[in-house]
């Protein structure tokens, strides 16, 4: 079989088999999540080995919990993870696109096209597709709250909690806008938004709290206060308990008077510490969890209660940064450094009962840092977890818009438009590249096809009609899943950030190119 330069190519059997196996495995993973794409997508129930049950619609969560053994299929799991990090939403989309591209690869490889040629053509096509998507985008301002809310609610529509999107979407937008730093207007750290889950009530009771919430009770020993006004809050990282030696050792006391002295010394030690704390005017103490020994003893809690100081103990190590940022105070590591200027100030610290537990709520914080707390409620653990995941997606969507302030239509419109323009571009190319680009263009149609299929419409009719509309220059026409027909999607308020679509296309292409380049799997003992 000798012809032109390297147009045809006969590979040996083994390499074909490995490639085939890789592509098949990765495609199987993609098909598993395909049904959960879009607002009418189904949910997956995941049952873990420990007997825990998760119900979710989020592509990244599904793939993360799936036990994938085939190495190439693991790449798809990584793919949805990276989409989750970059954009936060579109984790199902990215896997579905990758699956469709792999399907086209099988056809092209079957015709004898060399994998490297396919790979390079796909790379060019993906760059072109990103260009097309960017040219469709509509700029948006952060002051335009309505547009941001539309985005967040589009992201929530495909989730289990979609009926609450009118409540959760504005909540997510406000939370992100609260933590945007004017000094660095285009970056948002989602760690500044703390989500606390509390069982009981319904998702309707979810609220955003200006202030700080601890998912614990105040300590009730010896009738300490549970409500303090004009609070001065100290965040301490040392222990209020009798000192211990660093090594395990025993002190043998033979004399009763000596025993009394030890107890007395202990008491004086603790009292001395509490006097120092009280002298600064501090009346709320947040105590970090300690591993070495008890951070507080019964005795010290008793004296703290007498001094009318509200105590929240066992504050986690990783929350310290968030707390000190919110309260605008400094963590204090040693009693000698306990000074008034290191304390945070707030109007009210009180313990409120929520659902079946109690939480400590700090409100009216003076010069509060740019952080926000969201209290999520739900009637059962599954709904609660899913609400938190969906909220995370919505927050990520708003964050995408802060990073890259462009909107794009949803409902399969951008994919069809990119597919149409790539098809037209393929006709201007020569040789094998033209075939590969055309295959890429066809693969992009999987998104509208799947959307229609999941909504129970006839996919072939819908996609053909969509192509027709787009050929007439109606760029923003997409599938309106609720009405089951084709409409202008922008008028239906189905919008998504540009970053979600562009990163989905480029990440999926990158992953497919890697799978194509693999021609052998070597197991290393």
DSSP label of 482 = T
Q: Which residue has the tokens 């192509």?
A: 467
Q: What is the pTM of this model?
A: 0.82
Tokens at residue 285, please? 């103490």
Quote the CA–CA distance of 512 and 181 in Å, as a whole number.
Answer: 38
Catalytic, out of 58, 84, 89, 385:
58
Share of the chain above pLDDT 90, in %: 18
**End residue of a domain, out of 367, 392, 425:** 367
What would the mean pLDDT of 342-351 be, rounded to a whole number?
Answer: 89
Quote the CA–CA distance of 400 and 190 in Å, as a whole number.
Answer: 11
Question: What is the phi-psi region of residue 201: left when phi exceeds 0, alpha when psi lies from -120 to 50, beta otherwise?
Answer: left
SS3 label, residue 1: coil
Query: 215 and 351: one domain?
Result: yes
Would you say 323 and 235 are in contact if contact means Cβ atoms under 8 Å apart? yes
Higher pLDDT, 441 or 189: 441
**Nearest Cα to Cα of residue 283 among 312, 262, 254:** 312
Residue 194, domain member (yes or no): no
Query: 228 and 344: one domain?
Result: yes
Neighbours of 521 (CB within 10 A): 11
Is the model's pLDDT at 125 over the cut of 80? yes
Residue 45 buriedness (CB in 10 A; 0-12 / 13-18 / 19+): exposed
**End residue of a domain, out of 335, 367, 399:** 367
- Residues 348, 352, 354, 357, CA torsion sign: positive
SS3 label, residue 331: strand
Convert the pLDDT of each residue in 460-519 to its tens digit.
Answer: 999 999 999 999 988 888 888 888 888 888 888 888 889 899 999 999 999 999 988 888
What would the mean pLDDT of 456-462 be, rounded to a whole number?
Answer: 89
DSSP label of 309 = -
Query: 345 and 251: one domain?
Result: yes
Is 92 a residue of the active site? Answer: yes
Neighbours of 408 (CB within 10 A): 24
Residue 144, domain member (yes or no): no
Catalytic, out of 56, 61, 89, 91:
91
**Nearest Cα to Cα of residue 119 among 100, 96, 101:** 101
Is 58 a residue of the active site? Answer: yes
CATH label of the domain that carries residue 78: 1.10.560.10
SS3 label, residue 46: strand
Would you say 257 and 376 are in contact if contact means Cβ atoms under 8 Å apart? no
Tokens at residue 129, please? 């597709």
Catalytic, out of 56, 61, 89, 92:
92
**Nearest Cα to Cα of residue 521 among 75, 22, 173:** 22
Residue 150, domain member (yes or no): no
Is 297 a residue of the active site? Answer: no
Catalytic, out of 393, 477, 502, 509:
393
Is 385 a residue of the active site? Answer: no
Would you say 405 and 97 are in contact if contact means Cβ atoms under 8 Å apart? no
DSSP label of 366 = T
Quote the CA–CA distance of 55 and 81 in Å, as a whole number.
Answer: 18
Is the model's pLDDT at 6 over the cut of 70? no
Residue 128, domain member (yes or no): yes
Tokens at residue 342, please? 């290191």
What would the mean pLDDT of 87-92 be, rounded to a whole number?
Answer: 86
Is the model's pLDDT at 324 over the cut of 70? yes
Higher pLDDT, 102 or 58: 102
Mean pLDDT of the chain: 86
Query: 104 and 219: one domain?
Result: no
**End residue of a domain, out of 367, 383, 400:** 367
Residue 236, domain member (yes or no): yes
Residue 410 buriedness (CB in 10 A; 0-12 / 13-18 / 19+): buried
Quote the CA–CA distance of 502 and 476 in Å, as a whole number.
Answer: 16
**Domain count for the chain:** 2
Would you say 465 and 448 are in contact if contact means Cβ atoms under 8 Å apart? no
Would you say 135 and 481 are in contact if contact means Cβ atoms under 8 Å apart? no
Residue 433, domain member (yes or no): yes
Query: 227 and 341: one domain?
Result: yes
Would you say 270 and 279 are in contact if contact means Cβ atoms under 8 Å apart? no
Convert the pLDDT of each residue in 50-60 to its tens digit.
Answer: 888 888 888 88
Helices (H) and strands (E) in the chain, counts: 16, 17
pLDDT at 355: 74
| Domain extent at residue 509 | 10-139+408-517
CATH label of the domain that carries residue 358: 3.50.7.10
* Cα angle value 159/93/160 (rounded, 5°): 5
Would you say 212 and 372 are in contact if contact means Cβ atoms under 8 Å apart? no
Query: 354 and 226: one domain?
Result: yes
């Amino acid at each position: 079989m000798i012809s032109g330069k390297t147009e045809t190519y006969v590979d040996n059997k083994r390499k074909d088999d490995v490639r085939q196996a890789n592509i098949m495995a990765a495609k199987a993973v993609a098909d598993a999540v395909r049904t959960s794409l879009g607002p009418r997508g189904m949910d997956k129930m995941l049952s873990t080995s420990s007997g825990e049950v998760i119900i979710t619609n989020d592509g990244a969560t599904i793939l993360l919990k799936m036990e994938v053994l085939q190495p190439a299929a693991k790449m798809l799991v990584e793919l949805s993870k990276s989409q989750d990090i970059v954009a936060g939403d579109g984790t199902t989309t990215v896997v579905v696109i990758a699956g469709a591209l792999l399907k086209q690869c099988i056809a092209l490889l079957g015709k004898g096209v060399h994998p490297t040629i396919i790979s390079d053509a796909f790379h060019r096509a993906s760059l072109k597709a990103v260009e097309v998507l960017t040219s469709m985008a509509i700029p948006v301002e952060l002051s335009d709250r309505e547009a941001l809310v539309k985005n967040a609610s589009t992201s929530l529509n495909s989730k289990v909690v979609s009926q609450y999107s009118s409540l959760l979407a504005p909540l997510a937008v406000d939370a992100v806008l609260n933590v945007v730093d004017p000094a660095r207007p285009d970056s948002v750290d989602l760690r500044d938004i703390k989500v606390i889950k509390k069982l009981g009530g319904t998702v309707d009771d979810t609220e955003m709290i200006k202030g700080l919430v601890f998912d614990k009770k105040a300590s009730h020993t010896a009738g300490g206060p549970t409500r303090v006004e004009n609070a001065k809050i100290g965040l301490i990282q040392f222990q209020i308990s009798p000192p211990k030696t660093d090594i395990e050792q025993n002190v043998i006391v033979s004399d009763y008077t000596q025993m009394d002295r030890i107890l007395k010394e202990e008491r004086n030690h603790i009292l001395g510490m509490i006097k120092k704390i009280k002298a600064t005017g501090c009346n709320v103490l947040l105590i970090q969890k300690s591993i070495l020994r008890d951070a507080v003893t019964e005795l010290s809690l008793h004296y703290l209660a007498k001094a009318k100081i509200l105590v929240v103990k066992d504050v986690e190590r990783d929350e310290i940064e968030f707390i000190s940022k919110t309260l605008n105070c400094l963590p204090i590591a040693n009693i000698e450094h306990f000074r008034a200027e290191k304390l945070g100030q707030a109007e009210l610290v009180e313990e409120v009962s929520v659902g079946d537990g109690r939480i400590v709520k700090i409100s009216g914080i003076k010069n509060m840092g740019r952080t926000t707390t969201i209290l999520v409620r739900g009637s059962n653990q599954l709904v609660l977890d899913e609400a938190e995941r969906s909220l995370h997606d919505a927050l990520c969507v708003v964050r995408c818009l802060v990073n890259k302030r462009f909107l794009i239509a949803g409902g399969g419109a951008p994919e069809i438009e990119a597919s149409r323009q790539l098809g037209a571009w393929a006709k201007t190319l020569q040789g094998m590249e033209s075939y590969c680009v055309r295959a890429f263009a066809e693969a992009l149609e999987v998104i509208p096809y799947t959307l229609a299929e999941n909504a129970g419409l006839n996919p072939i009719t819908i996609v053909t009609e969509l192509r027709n509309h787009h050929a007439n220059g109606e760029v923003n026409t997409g599938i309106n899943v609720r009405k089951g027909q084709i409409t202008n999607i922008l008028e239906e308020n189905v919008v998504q950030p540009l970053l979600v679509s562009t990163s989905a296309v480029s990440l999926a292409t990158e992953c497919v190119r890697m799978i194509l380049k693999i021609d052998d799997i070597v197991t290393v003992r």
